[in-house]
Structure 1
Amino acid sequence: MQIYIHISGTGGGIRKRQSLIQYLRDIANITILEKTEG
């Protein structure tokens, strides 16, 4: 759930399609960082 919090703070324009793509990319990057750290 922390992932959603981080993205919700950064991605404010999720309504646009391009934002959705970056939104999914950010999720993937964050999940990778989470796995690498912990």
Structure 2
Amino acid sequence: MILSVKFIIYFLLIKDQVQIKTLVLDLLLFSVYLQY
């Protein structure tokens, strides 16, 4: 599941470099939430 999230992050990075920062932060918070 973490790998798929990484692929999504890379895809979005290539697509949009402007919104990638907010997306990464949201995904990191979401992943932490899933771990707990």
Note whether the superposition's TM-score is higher than 0.5: yes
TM tier, shorter chain?
A: 0.5 to 0.7
Q: Does 1:27 align with 2:29?
A: no
1:32 and 1:21 mapped to 2: Cα distance? 19
Return 5+ residue gaps in structure 2 as ranges: none
Return 5+ residue gaps in structure 1 as ranges: 14-18
1:22 and 1:34 mapped to 2: Cα distance? 18
In structure 1, the residue matched to 2:7 is: 5
- Paired-residue identity, %: 6
Name the Cα RMSD after superposition. Answer: 2.1
Q: Which structure shows the higher helix fraction?
A: 2
